[in-house]
Amino acid sequence: MPKMKYPVFLIILSFSFLYINAEDGHKLWLRNEYSNQVNVVVKKESEILDIAKQELKNNWRGENGAVIKLVLKKDKRIQDDGFILNPDEIRANTELGILYGAFELLRKQQTQQKIEEKVFNPSYQLRLLNHWDNLNGSVERGYAGSSIFWNKDEDDLTVTEKDIKLWSEYARANASIGINGTVINNVNASPRVLKKESLERIKVIADVLRPYGIQVFLSINFASPAIIGGLETSDPLNKNVIDWWKEKAKEIYKIIPDFGGFLVKASSEGQPGPHDFGRSHVDGANMLAGAVEPFGGIIMWRAFVYSAKEDDRAEQAYAEFFPFDGQFRDNVIIQVKNGPIDFMPREPFSPLFGAMKKTPLMPELQITQEYLGHSIHLVFLSTMWEEFLNSDTYQEGEGSTVAKCTDGSIFEQKTAIAGVANIGKDINWCGHHFAQSNWYAFGRLAWDNQLTSEQIADEWIKLTFNPDVKSKTSFSKDWKENFLKPVKSMMLESREAAVNYMMPLGLHHIFQAHHHYGPGPWWELPGVRKDWTNPYYHRADSMGVGFNRTVTGTNAVAQYHEPLRSQFGDLKSCPEKYILWFHHVPWDHKMKSGKILWDEMCYRYDDGVSQVRQFQVIWDKIHPYVDADRFEAVQRKLRDQAKNAQVWKDACLLYFQTFSKKVIPFDIERPIHNLDDLKKDDMDKA
């Protein structure tokens, strides 16, 4: 028998060490396990203040034995649940302000930022997540497991200790980044959510989330009065319907006194709405607003609408809502997707931002990566949102950014922002360890819409991958240079890489229709309405490619203020990142790089593939700096992403080549797939 090289006890010890240091990602960015002693002084006691006090005691990295005062005192510099931070004091007007201040102080300590006196006020009053969770536990466009709120059997409304623990962890994570509201069910809502037995479960959820300052909201089905109320109609101007909603609101607020209100998807994608009864969005929204107004509730009415027309779908939200500017009740806020189509990898901002001056608008961002590789692709979305928020609408002249149009800087109004959540029951919450950064980034930008993506990425990496989480010191020069710097670079480049290998130069809506994951520029079936097919959007032919939205096309550019209208409408001045969004461009059109359009497309797709392969190199090099579990999990995802990027490149270039009749430049990598095979695979899945 061969002699063992190492004693058995050393082998066991080694495996134990690996197990202890294993990371499953469940702790998110809240991994601190080291704390100095701190004396927290606060005169008042409450659930919220007790949480703030405990967070400071459990996670303090300041001077050992320090004293930190929590001061509740009115200060004109502080707005809403904002706070003033000092090295030894957190001052706020509200208890929630104290809690947010505690998390901010700890974040600065743990990321080794200097702490000086500063006022921290939220950009938006309401910062909420939209969960597209169904009452059967499934999650629409969710890629991280089943719902954290609903059981797989929709008749099973029991609540377990495990549920309460998970909801508490969820609430803490949200509070740590300033999120203060959550819609816990799908916008394609089941009427059953308003039944008494469902409301009793929602009450428990609300009770768990409340100490962390999170209000519960519900998505509703507009036809609920007829479906579960026994009425003959759901016409918003019918007295019986109006009374039904008023009684339902009373019932809800009796069970959940701090209920936030309703999110409504109506007259869109087959969902019932006021148009079914010849009524307007104003009629529907104002009726519901009247029901919740006595209780302080709000109505978030989604502007994601399009009908079965052959007109330009990008124009429809503006066309349906702008004429009603100023006619909505004060407790109605219109929720508008960042772009005019549907969460594409890159879109110009929706022209509704900058158009409506008398009606508050709230941006709707998508944290879950419906069109950006699901939970497989590493795509840091903060750069997309930063681009959107900093886009100038020219609503009140130069500098009227989307951020300023929505956060009350230009017009005094109710302010809110929503993110479609990427959260599920996967142990790491989001399906991909790096997808956690998008949940984090949404919360941070919702609190401060002037933060940069570089700042957010720096924070998140330090909090999530701190190598010395159990010790007093951290962030060595070696770690910063060989882990922080390359990983941050990868994150900041990742969204542009995805645009390159998916839909560069303003291309959009060329995904596989059945799951929105892979490429499908060919996707078109007999009998399917044109605005649901992909050739409708890219309009490739022998002359060129792209959707003409100029004055010679649909004239969608007219919905933007000058100088954008002229800039977007002129092929010479249109930013190349939007050129195929606004123009049908000849294949031989000379781009700024000097290349013709066809060659530029080829190089962009090739760049995207090369970028993802470089991400693999970066990640492989950081192996010594991260735990084995997360290293291997991300490594596997990156392999899949690289393969997927190659499929996107091959599918799109081979398909568009059938129109351009041009050669793929010889200095880029050759396609490795056959177009017929890719199309057949897509149709087989469909």
Q: How far apart are CA 398 and CA 403, in angstroms?
A: 13
Q: How far apart are CA 291 and CA 236, in angstroms?
A: 11
Residue identified by tokens 């291309």 is 507
Q: Spell out the residues 6+ positions from residue 160 whose beta carbon is closer than 8 angstroms to its own.
A: none
Angle between helices 436-447 and 161-176 (to 10 degrees): 50
| Annotated catalytic residue, options 133, 312, 370, 407 | 370
Q: How far apart are CA 23 and CA 630, in angstroms?
A: 6
Residue 412 bears catalytic tag = no
| Annotated catalytic residue, options 269, 330, 468, 640 | 269
Residue identified by tokens 């969204």 is 495
Residue 570 bears catalytic tag = no
**Of 517, 385, 376, 387, nearest to 435 (Cα)?**
376
Residue 269 bears catalytic tag = yes
Which residues is 10 bridged to in the sheet? none
Q: How many CB atoms lie within 10 A of CB 242?
A: 17
**Cα angle for residues 190, 191, 195 (degrees, 5° grid):** 120
| Annotated catalytic residue, options 89, 154, 258, 342 | 342
Q: How far apart are CA 470 and CA 23, in angstroms?
A: 13
SS3 25: coil
Query: How many residues in total does the chain contain?
Result: 686
Residues of the chain by 3-state class (helix, strand, coil), percent to 5:
45, 10, 45
**Of 262, 239, 257, nearest to 189 (Cα)?**
262
Element (H, E) at 594: none
Q: How far apart are CA 283 and CA 268, in angstroms?
A: 16
Active site residues: 269, 342, 370
